[in-house]
Chain A
Amino acid sequence: MHIKGRAWTFGRNVNTDLIYPKTWFRPTYEPGEMASHLMVGVDEDFPNKVKRGDVIVGGQNFGCGSSREEAAAAMKEAGIGAVVAPSFGRLFLRNCINVGMPVVTSPGIDAEVTAGDQIEIDLANGKIRNLRSGYEARLPPMAPESLQLIMDGGIANYTRRVLNERRLANKNAQG
């Protein structure tokens, strides 16, 4: 999986209340609705400025706090290429994996990127590069199961596949 995009930078301990404020919680969402509120707790104008393929670079403990999946789902819906940080809140990290949002742990990355830099990530080979500065680093290995879930487009696709396998097995058993 190859990702290349323009960077937006955020600080340390950016919590999910800021990434997706509760004011915008809905029981069901229209297409594009979540993306239209992405990061508005930090920058109200962010949804208008961000483009598909852009990369979000956060500081340590990015996405800490509440379990709200909207924080990860809004990034996926906005077409964010990847979210990169030295470390993540565990629920945000998990939600990213489950919605198929490339989530990339890269120690020290926040010190190596300024807003607007072109970032290149090779997930399969575990490499990240800042094309402006020439900075290059190896990524800590990701669990193969997690990488697979992201590449398969998330847990929804996985669940559909297992449900189909079960239906087929049931049918065969009956037939």
Chain B
Amino acid sequence: MHAIAKIIAKHAGRDHVEVGEIVNVIPDFVMLNDRGAARAADLLKQMGGEKVFNPSQVVVVFDHHYPPIRQQDSVSQKKTREWIKQQGITKFHAGEGIGHVIFPENGYAFPGALIFGTDSHTVTNSALGCVATGMGHSDIASYLALGYNWLRVPEVIRFVLNGELKPGVCAKDIVLRIAQLYGEDAAPYLGVEFSGPLVDHMPMDERLVLCNMVIDFGAKTGYIQPDEITARWMAWRAPDLKWSAETTDSDADCGRIVELDVSDIEPLVAIPHDLSDVRNARDLSDVRIDEAIFGTCTGGRIEDFRIAAIIMKGKKLAPHTRMMVNPGSREVYQLAIKEGLIDILVEAGATIGVPGCGPCSGCHQGMLAPAENAITNASRNFKGRFGSPEANAYVASSATVAASAIAGRIVSPVKMLVQ
């Protein structure tokens, strides 16, 4: 069995499961974001459920609409606060950042775990060597009522990443390369495992980027085999937690193995409105940038701020360009302050927002006007995602976004990093 199948089997109380089989599983943690909590509480009631089956496994995070900018969200968050109190849910994080950033920070994600969440980017957690997947509100409401969910055991595709990355090229460029080569449906319904010499040395922040975006080529979960880097992360994040990783029996447990040489990848950009329409950043210099959107569950971690600060130090945003920055979490925010990174970004002219989803939630500060162009280190360039459906979103790495914000047009970050 693949480790992903073993994790599912363990949570189904079984020794063995077959690929394609549907089993009922009990997850370790379930994340409800602000929208998810409000909808799931409503649906739980409609399903005739009064009590949450296992409140200690439920984590509620306000990240999409926090602090609320519409009264309907203030009202909804008030109701949710009352609801979690009444249900005995104590794991509650409001304004502390994005669920997918604070889950690994708080040790909610750990090797061998099974995690569900009311958001597609729940897959991010799978970088820790767990199975993590998004679900709809009725799905989660049913879990709240019964304490389990149905899950189909996925086939696994393994990407073996070989070679060294060029300077200025990041994990984000690798996933854009995969989307370019294999399309937005490179891995429908599949588990996606990343391995190989490059991954062996990749820091956790970058691993989280790889797994964050597997949903954007169709996958159910990511997976990275836990190793020394994972163990060090867990010792730091959850020193008292006992966890045990699963291992894959043989290569034959992967449906497909794809070898990918990363050494020729350049800084890449997905152009509107298709994530698989990917070009070299240096070939897009005629694209004017009105707004740089920096943060999200894809690009809001400390490594993203570090590379942006190297590029932006002592420089100013182009006069026609604005930059909206939302740290992925409160912890990232504080660390970026301590390291002087926030100062560098503010000096350059960036606007710092609250830790959370920012404009990627589709209704927070930094919405785009018609015909405006944005470059973002978020995951998606969907039409209308950041405001007007007539605006254009370009998706790139944190380095490319920072460099383009300074240049006022899309540029490769390589020259600015070398200087």
> B residues within 8 A CB of A155?
138-139, 142
Does the CB pair A90–B119 fall under 8 Å?
Answer: no
Is A28 within 8 A of B38, CB to CB? yes
| Residue pair B382, A15 in contact (C-beta under 8 Å) | yes
Cβ < 8 Å to B, chain A residues 52-68 = 60-61, 64-68
The reply to whether the CB of B195 lies closer than 8 angstroms to some CB of chain A is no
Residues of A112-142 at the interface with B, using a CB-CB cut-off of 8 Å, are: none
**Is A156 interfacial (CB-CB < 8 Å)?**
yes
Roughly how many angstroms separate A69 CA and B150 CA in the complex, as a whole number? 16
Q: Is the CB of A156 within 8 A of B138?
A: yes
| CB neighbours of B285 from chain A (8 A) | none
Of the listed stretches B55-63, B72-80, B103-111, name the one at the interface; the rest are far from the partner chain.
Answer: B72-80
Query: What's the minimum C-beta distance from A62 to chain B, rounded to whole angstroms?
Result: 10
Q: Which residues of A contact B75 (CB under 8 A)?
A: 27
Interface stretch among B182-190, B227-235, B328-336, B340-348? B182-190
A23 touches B (CB below 8 Å):
yes
Quick one: which of B120, B185, B219, B382 contacts A67, CB cutoff 8 A?
Answer: B120
B146 contacts A95, C-beta separation under 8 Å: no
Given A41-B383, A64-B218, A95:B22 Cβ within 8 A: no
Considering only CB atoms and an 8 Å cut-off, how many residues of chain B contact the other chain?
A: 53
Whether A69 touches B38, Cβ cut-off 8 Å, given contacts A61-B184, A90-B218, is: no
Q: Which of B40-48, B239-247, B314-322 contacts A (4 or more CB under 8 A)?
A: B40-48
Q: Is B137 an interface position by the 8 A CB rule? A: yes
Residues in A125-175 with C-beta less than 8 Å from chain B: 143, 145-146, 154-156, 158-160, 162-164
The 8 A CB mask of B133-174 against A (1 = contact, 0 = none) is: 011111101100110001010000000000000000000000
The answer to whether B363 and A22 touch across the interface, beta carbons within 8 angstroms, is: yes
Complex CA–CA separation, A60 to B219 (angstroms) = 15
Query: Which residues of the partner chain B approach A88 to less than 8 Å between Cβ atoms?
Result: 188
Whether a CB of chain A sits under 8 angstroms from the CB of B35 is yes
Q: A146-B22, A159-B146 are in contact. Are A72 and B136 (CB under 8 A)?
A: yes
Are the C-beta atoms of A25 and B47 separated by less than 8 Å?
A: no
Kindly report which residue of chain B lies nearest to residue A25, judged by CB atoms: B35
- Asked whether any CB of chain B lies closer than 8 Å to the CB of A18, the reply is yes
Residue contact A18 to B383, C-beta cutoff 8 Å:
yes
- Docked Cα-Cα span, A145 to B163, in Å, equals 44
Complex interface residues of chain A between 13 and 32 (CB less than 8 A to chain B): 13, 15, 17-18, 21-23, 25-28
Q: Would you call B220 an interface residue if the criterion is a C-beta within 8 Å of the partner chain's C-beta atoms?
A: yes
With A13-B184, A160-B47 in contact, is A91–B134 under 8 Å at CB? yes
List 8 additional contacts besides A23-B362, A60-B185; criterion CB under 8 Å.
A21-B362, A22-B362, A27-B38, A64-B218, A67-B119, A87-B185, A90-B189, A93-B189
Pick 24 A–B contacts, CB within 8 A, sort by A.
A13-B184, A15-B380, A17-B382, A17-B383, A27-B73, A27-B75, A61-B188, A65-B120, A66-B119, A90-B189, A91-B135, A94-B139, A95-B136, A99-B136, A143-B22, A143-B152, A145-B150, A155-B138, A159-B141, A159-B145, A159-B146, A160-B48, A163-B145, A164-B48
